[in-house]
Amino acid sequence: MTARRQAKRRAPARSESERQAKLQTILDAALDIFLEKGFADARLDDVAARAGVAKGTLYLYVPSKQALFEALVRSGIGGPVGAIEQKVPDPDISAEDQLRALFLFLRTEILGTRRRDIVRLLLMEASRFPELAEVYHREVIVRGLRILRGIAERGVARGEFRSDEIARFPQLAIAPALVALLWTSLFQRFDPVDIEAMLETHLTLLMKALKRHPS
């Protein structure tokens, strides 16, 4: 195969890579603008300017402001959630280790990155824009709760867990992650909390409850 033909075959891959890089730049700019101005006052002109692209270029990626938020959620959090969906159900991993993997993901990939700002944005805007909450619920919450229920059900089926509370109320398992998010956003400067230790303590208490013998 000639060098010219090889170059032509490689070109689409480079083009897609460049497209994804440009999209990420736009999404990063959108998150900045949404946090600074609020979703209602943010304009696509502002996002384009922050990203260093023409507004027409932005429309090649997203048709509207809500679509931009959806892309932010889908790319920023939905993608990593998909990865943990594939990893956690491994039948060779105990239910406890699966829970630990999920909490490690929450701590390092959500609370430890800018993805936490997407959640902050949602908490700020969901009451005025319930459609944003619907997007996040569909792309993240439903899938996360399904992962938790699956872990709990497998744990009970294997005899690792004696309680099915988390299968019935998976929200209880992730509640401390929301507390951590709120605390670090609002109160951490006044009353610092070791978030990693707090989540580890919660997981320890959770495992004791799930493994307890019926009284």
pLDDT of the residue at 153: 93
Q: Is the pLDDT of residue 7 over 50?
A: no
Using CA atoms, how far residue 122 sits from 13, 16, 148, 164, 167, in Å, is 34, 30, 22, 30, 26
- Indicate the range of 90-94, 118-122, 149-153, 177-181 predicted with least confidence: 90-94
97-126 per-residue burial string, b: 16 or more CB within 10 A, e: under 16: ebbebbbbbbbebbbeeebbbbbbbbebbb
Task: Among 13, 38, 63, give the residue marking a domain's end.
Answer: 63
Question: Residue 186 is encoded by which pair of tokens?
Answer: 């609002």
- Indicate the number of domains in the chain: 2
Provide the CATH number for the domain around residue 159.
1.10.357.10
| Contact (CB, 8 A) for 210 and 155 | yes
Which pTM was predicted?
Answer: 0.81
Q: Are residues 51 and 124 in the same domain?
A: no
Domain that holds residue 92: 64-215
Regarding whether 51 and 119 lie in a shared domain, the answer is: no
* 13 and 104 co-located in one domain: no
User: Residue range 146-154: average pLDDT?
Assistant: 93
Per-residue pLDDT reduced to its tens digit, 100-117: 999 999 899 888 888 899
